[in-house]
């Protein structure tokens, strides 16, 4: 057997078509396609506006069971399904998130799919790409600089320097910047205060860019950002600092979706990448809406497992953007289900139908949850070489008892040829018209009740607890007019509960809301349950030590 090729080797061997050709397949005129090299392009804002009257294609969500170290392949399946739909003759495209540059130099590899289901050029996509994240970093930090500058020049707005909630950002894993004291060094450098940096994907500007409908909406949302509080506790907005319009200028190009292609030369938008814990974890609304005008089927994904990713996709993105998903695919691997059934990572190579069946309960709950949103479901079994026939039969059997279907997919190894069956099933579900999307809670519910709705209906928690200060804060935001916002719950992705070690289907557990934050520009309330890391660190031997340019000037070590 030939050695298995790495993702970067496969990606590099791809025969890419000129991006103008990919755009032409979507009937995008060449002057509306702003090229970045020969294999990437942004879609011009004027052309996007001109799409308004066209009918929408069907939106397919790819989500997953709770992730485990065994991997489940959500992006890979999203890309594979897009190729599969094209293979069976449908006009389909995919919409996925842009990866963050910083973590590529830490432990994780790229995030552009894997095997024979990737978007290319993977090196570019994983690094600077078209500069969107850099633009977000600049816009965010311009606002940060203007806050301290305002304080420096007399603090007319009466900002309480202990209550500046707007931090700075950098697209780098740099734990040394998590907590700093800035403005040291004397009078010329301002008033010393505590501050810090988050990674760029955690910026509210990122969430705003991904939820904004157009430049005007972007600018309005940027103005709505709460950056600090006055000594009388009243909020100071980005608009008060007159920073919103200049931030929009810096984000003008970043608002345009990025077009690339899959290994099989099918079109893909890769645009935006907000955190899936303190933000909603989906690619941009502007890309998704454009794709729906350009293709008959649009396959997209949401971060982490369905309890976090799909819930936020439905309750935040779809609700606010008026999207109506037609079907959902839940990705599972036999390895990950076995881990959910209690098998250790080192024992995953051995057949274990009993453990698999136990672990299937996790999958079963995600199926039931997604249906609560009125969206029909199919399960994709992302095939691994170690999977046995008995295991595949067991999962298919389990899923059929839940009234859905599980389909074995070999897109990682075979590309679109390995995912035809799933593609046909997705078309059948989407065309059936059974989808009747509705969010899990209404806009009018009190904020605490919204958190409870998600916790009980989706997480199967028994109770939500919160300190008095948290409840009072939520009440205060309701009084200030933010009561109609959806909630964005930051919870561990590894469990339905707030305990990352509780795999499977925990029931009746307690969800404790430790802290709440207002993302007034993005338009949601963040409820934090447990420790949330908004600036990662590097490991002892970071990937950066092994990433290099080879003699042909090609990037090695980014996998």
Residues placed in the known binding site for ATP: 68-75
42 is catalytic: no
CB 10 within 8 A of CB 118: yes
Sequence-separated (6 or more) residues with CB below 8 Å from residue 266? 82, 83, 86, 92, 93, 94
- How far is the C-alpha of 108 from the C-alpha of 111, rounded, in Å? 8
Q: Which of 129, 297, 412, 524 is catalytic?
A: 412
Nearest to 61 by CA among 305, 278, 230, 333: 305
Smallest distance from a second copy to CB 290, Å: 16
Smallest distance from a second copy to CB 153, Å: 4
Which CB atom, from 34 or from 316, has the smaller least distance to a second copy?
34
- How far is the C-alpha of 385 from the C-alpha of 376, rounded, in Å? 29
Question: Is the peptide bond preceding residue 477 cis, with omega within 30 degrees of 0?
Answer: no
Token readout for 98 is 């842009």
276 is catalytic: yes
Query: Could you say which of 1, 3, 13, 176 contacts a second copy (CB under 8 A)?
Result: 176
Which CB atom, from 31 or from 389, has the smaller least distance to a second copy?
31
Task: Tell me if 219 contacts a second copy by CB under 8 A.
Answer: yes
Smallest distance from a second copy to CB 195, Å: 8
Smallest distance from a second copy to CB 194, Å: 8
Residues 246-275 that bind a second copy (CB under 8 A): 246, 248-250, 252-253
117 is catalytic: no
Sequence-separated (6 or more) residues with CB below 8 Å from residue 33? 19, 20, 23, 41, 42, 43, 44, 259
Smallest distance from a second copy to CB 4, Å: 24
Q: Which of 129, 133, 297, 304 is catalytic?
A: 304
74 is catalytic: yes
Task: Tell me if 475 contacts a second copy by CB under 8 A.
Answer: no
Question: Which letter does DSSP use for residue 478 in this model?
Answer: I
Size of the site for a second copy (CB under 8 A): 72
Which residue pairs, CB below 8 angstroms and at least 24 apart, start in 143-151? 143/205, 143/225, 143/227, 143/238, 143/241, 143/243, 143/247, 144/168, 146/241, 146/242, 146/243, 147/227, 147/228, 147/241, 148/182, 148/183, 148/190, 148/191, 150/241, 151/190, 151/191
Helices (H), ranges, 307-437: 309-312, 319-321, 334-340, 353-372, 389-401, 411-414, 420-432
Per CB under 8 A, the segment of 58-66, 167-175, 308-316, 485-493 that binds a second copy is 167-175
Task: Tell me if 542 contacts a second copy by CB under 8 A.
Answer: yes
Query: Could you say which of 64, 111, 146, 343 contacts a second copy (CB under 8 A)?
Result: 146
Query: Could you say which of 12, 17, 178, 230 contacts a second copy (CB under 8 A)?
Result: 178
Smallest distance from a second copy to CB 159, Å: 13
| 386 to 425: interface string for a second copy, x by CB under 8 A | ----------------------------------------
Task: Tell me if 50 contacts a second copy by CB under 8 A.
Answer: no
365 is catalytic: no
Residues 191-210 that bind a second copy (CB under 8 A): 194-195
With H, G, I as helix, E, B as strand and everything else as coil, classify residue 94. strand
Token readout for 202 is 């955690």
Smallest distance from a second copy to CB 33, Å: 9
CB 99 within 8 A of CB 320: no
Task: Tell me if 142 contacts a second copy by CB under 8 A.
Answer: yes
The dihedrals phi and psi of 389, each to the nearest 5 degrees, come to -60, -40
CB 90 within 8 A of CB 365: no
Which CB atom, from 184 or from 476, has the smaller least distance to a second copy?
184
Query: Could you say which of 63, 173, 382, 416 contacts a second copy (CB under 8 A)?
Result: 173
Residues 102-131 that bind a second copy (CB under 8 A): 105, 127-128, 131
Q: How many CB atoms are located within 10 Å of the residue 325 CB?
A: 24
The residue assigned the tokens 């209550």 is 163
Query: Could you say which of 144, 258, 288, 498 contacts a second copy (CB under 8 A)?
Result: 144
| 19 to 38: interface string for a second copy, x by CB under 8 A | ------------x--xxxxx
The residues that are catalytic are 74, 76, 97, 108, 276, 304, 384, 412
């Amino acid at each position: 057997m030939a050695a298995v090729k790495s993702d970067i080797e496969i990606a590099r061997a791809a025969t890419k078509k000129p991006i103008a050709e990919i755009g032409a397949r979507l009937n995008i005129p060449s002057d509306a396609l702003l090229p970045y090299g020969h294999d990437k392009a942004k879609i011009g804002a004027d052309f996007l506006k001109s799409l308004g009257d066209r009918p929408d294609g069907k939106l397919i969500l790819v989500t997953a069971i709770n992730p485990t170290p065994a991997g489940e392949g959500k992006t890979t399946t999203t890309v594979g399904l897009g190729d599969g739909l094209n293979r069976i003759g449908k006009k389909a495209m995919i919409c996925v998130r842009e990866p963050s540059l910083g973590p590529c130099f830490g432990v994780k590899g790229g995030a552009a799919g894997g095997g024979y289901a990737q978007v290319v050029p993977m090196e570019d996509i994983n690094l600077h790409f078209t500069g969107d994240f850099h633009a977000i970093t600049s816009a965010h930090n311009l606002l940060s600089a203007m806050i301290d500058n305002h304080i420096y020049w007399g603090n007319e707005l009466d900002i309480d320097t202990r209550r500046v909630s707007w931090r700075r950002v950098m697209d780098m894993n740099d734990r040394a910047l998590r907590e700093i004291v800035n403005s040291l060094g004397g009078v010329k450098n301002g008033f010393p205060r505590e501050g810090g940096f988050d990674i760029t994907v955690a910026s509210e500007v990122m969430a705003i860019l991904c939820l904004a409908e157009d430049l005007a909406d972007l600018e309005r949302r940027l103005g709505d950002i709460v950056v600090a509080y006055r000594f009388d506790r009243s909020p100071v907005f980005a608009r008060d600092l007159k920073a919103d319009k200049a931030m929009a200028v810096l984000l003008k190009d970043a608002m345009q979706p990025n077009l690339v292609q899959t290994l099989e030369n099918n079109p893909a938008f890769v645009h935006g990448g907000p955190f899936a814990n303190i933000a909603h974890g989906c690619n941009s609304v502007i890309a998704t809406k454009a794709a729906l005008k350009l293709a008959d089927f649009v396959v997209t994904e949401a971060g982490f497992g369905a309890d976090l990713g799909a819930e936020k996709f439905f309750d935040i993105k779809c609700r606010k953007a008026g999207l109506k998903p037609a079907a959902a695919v839940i990705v599972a691997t036999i390895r990950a289900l076995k881990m959910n059934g209690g098998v250790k990572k080192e024992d995953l190579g051995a057949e274990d139908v009993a453990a698999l069946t136990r672990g299937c309960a996790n999958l079963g709950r995600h199926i039931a949850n997604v249906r609560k949103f009125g969206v029909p479901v199919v399960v994709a079994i992302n095939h691994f070489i170690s999977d046995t026939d008995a295991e595949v039969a067991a999962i298919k059997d389990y899923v059929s008892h839940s009234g859905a279907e599980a389909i074995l997919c070999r897109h990682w190894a075979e590309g679109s040829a390995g995912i035809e069956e799933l593609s046909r099933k997705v078309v059948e579900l989407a065309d059936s018209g059974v989808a009747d999307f509705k969010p899990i809670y209404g806009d009018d519910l009190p904020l605490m009740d919204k958190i409870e709705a998600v916790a009980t209906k989706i997480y199967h928690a028994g109770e939500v607890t919160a300190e008095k200060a948290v409840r009072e804060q939520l009440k205060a935001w309701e009084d200030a007019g933010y009561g109609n916002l959806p909630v964005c719950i930051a919870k561990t992705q590894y469990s339905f509960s707030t305990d990352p070690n509780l795999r499977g289907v925990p029931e009746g557990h307690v969800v404790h809301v430790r802290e709440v934050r207002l993302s007034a520009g993005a338009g949601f309330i963040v409820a934090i349950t447990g420790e949330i890391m908004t600036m990662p660190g590097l490991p002892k031997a970071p990937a950066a030590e092994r990433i290099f340019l080879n003699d042909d000037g090609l990037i090695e070590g980014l996998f």
